[in-house]
Amino acid sequence: MNRVEFLYLSQQEVIECGGLDMAKTIEDLEEVFKLHHKGDTVVPAKVALRWGDIHSEETRGRINAMPGHVGGNVDVSGIKWIASAPQNPIKYRMPRASALTILNDPYQGFPLCVMDGTVISAMRTGGVTGVAAKYLAIKDSRVVGLIGAGTQNRTQLMALKEVLPHLARVKVYDLRKERSEAFIESAREYVQVDMTVADTAEEAVTGSDVVVSATTAKAPIIKGEWVKEGMFIANVGGYETEFDALKKADKIVVDDWYQVKHRGTQTTAIMFNQGLLTDQDIYAELGAVVSGDRPGREKERELVFFNPVGMGIEDIIVASRIYRTARVKGMGTTLKLWDSPLWF
């Protein structure tokens, strides 16, 4: 038989197949970072489709294509096609990001599954910070400062709660106070800790053990004089951290340094392009830390800066788990590509 079929999973079906399981997402990501460190992944450079220069992404938005292959026992290829429209929440009361994830058989090339990638993308982005915090934050971290009150920091908080057992207080800062208030109200459903609105970014940062910035800011938010010894800072968005803050770091860790430099939008990449940071200034990629080839946090007073840019392999490994679960559960809609190919 020459018929080719593939599975389609809606967002709700992705959720029902474990899309919101942060513990499993973190397990997936630890595995993919180990595989990436071993060289058992393929990660082509991210392609950004935008309508203008790099700064147009902050207003008009972009669509990113993020292909990859995950080896090991996963052994699947795929791509995430994700749009980001910063005006959506304000103008249309719709999510900023929307995505499709496609999985392919890496031998015949045929599609295995097309699924909503929006939930997966958000979960794996938070999960990457969770993996990093597990190895790089102070073990008994209690106070988290979140800059940005969007979907990204929702999953950042979910992941931090998973890996920081002593988490007791969260401060949330957003340019719009009502967004911070709504964020806290929603977050109370899944994180039972003391949460307060920070009136300024400085208030969110000062006194925090862990700081996460996930915004579409056009200029740095985290200032050098606010950061302290022992802090773990995750720069999840773009140019969110002042150079002076980064210069204080004892360790700079990235998910993939080549990809960070290629993207060129985050503080580390901007400093590199200006000759203010060298390849030798990067302590490690996260896979080396997760694999045990480089120590994570070694001293409580270390200031550790983490810069993830995101890779398609992170989405692919999570999507692979979702796909396998859907097959076991008999969920999803089978779609036909062809009964018999027109040409071969």
pLDDT tens digits for range 4-20 = 999 999 999 999 999 99
pTM for the structure as a whole: 0.93
User: Measuring CA to CA, which residue among 27, 32, 28 is closest to residue 287?
Assistant: 32
Instruction: Classify 294 as helix, strand or coil.
Output: coil
What's the rounded Cα separation, in Å, for the pair 44 and 343? 29
Verify that 295 and 228 share a domain, yes or no. yes
Q: Per the residue annotation, which of 80, 161, 171, 261 is the catalytic one?
A: 80
Cα 68 from chain centroid?
15
**Residue 325, in any domain of the structure:** yes
Task: Answer whether residue 55 shows pLDDT above 90.
Answer: no
> What was the pLDDT predicted at 1?
63
81 and 167 in a single domain? The answer is no
251 given a catalytic annotation: no
Q: Do 153 and 270 fall within a single domain? A: yes
Least confident stretch, 157-161, 202-206, 215-219, 315-319: 215-219
Q: Look-up: residue for tokens 């609105």?
A: 197
Q: Which domain holds residue 265?
A: 129-307
Residue 344 domain-assigned (yes or no): no
- 265 part of a folded domain: yes
Q: Which helix (H) or strand (E) holds 97?
A: strand 97-104
Q: Annotate 229-254 with b (16+ C-beta within 10 A) or e (fewer).
A: ebbbbbbbbbbbbbbebbebbebbbb
81 with 105, same domain: the answer is yes
Q: What is the CATH number of the domain that holds 104?
A: 3.30.1780.10
Residues 45 and 64 in one domain: yes
What value does the CA radius of gyration of the chain take, rounded to a whole number of Å? 20
Across residues 36-43, what is the average pLDDT?
A: 97
| CATH number of the CATH domain containing 171 | 3.40.50.720
Are both 174 and 252 inside the same structural domain?
yes
Q: Which two tokens stand for residue 327?
A: 């097959």
**CA distance linking residue 340 with residue 147, whole number of Å:** 53
| Domain membership flag for residue 291 | yes
The answer, yes or no, to whether residue 344 has pLDDT greater than 90, is: no
Domain shared by 182 and 92, yes or no: no
Q: Looking at residue 190, what DSSP letter applies?
A: T
Q: In this model, does residue 340 exceed pLDDT 80?
A: yes
Same domain, 11 and 150: no
Domain match, 286 and 158 both: yes
In a domain, 319, yes or no: yes
For residue 209, being part of any structural domain is answered with: yes
Q: Is residue 13 part of a domain?
A: yes
Q: How far is CA 300 from CA 13, 22, 54, 230, in A?
A: 42, 26, 38, 5
> What pLDDT was estimated at residue 263?
84
* Alpha helices (H) along the chain: 11-14, 22-38, 118-136, 151-163, 177-187, 201-205, 243-247, 257-263, 267-273, 286-290, 312-329
The total domain count for the chain is 2
Residues 6+ apart with CB under 8 A from 261: 269, 272, 273
What band does 171 get if pLDDT is binned at 50, 70 and 90? Answer: very high
Same domain, 140 and 96: no
Q: What is the pLDDT of residue 57?
A: 84
pLDDT of residue 189: 86
- Is 343 a member of any domain? no
> Distance of CA 202 to CAs 170, 174, 263, 300, 337, Å?
14, 11, 28, 22, 54
**Within this chain, do residues 176 and 283 fall inside the same structural domain, yes or no?**
yes
- Decide if 209 contacts 142 (C-beta within 8 A): yes
Beta pairing class for 4-9 and 111-116: parallel
Q: Residue 132 and residue 39: Cα distance in Å, rounded?
A: 19
Task: Look up residue 246 and give its amino acid.
Answer: L
Q: Domain check: are 330 and 278 in the same one?
A: no
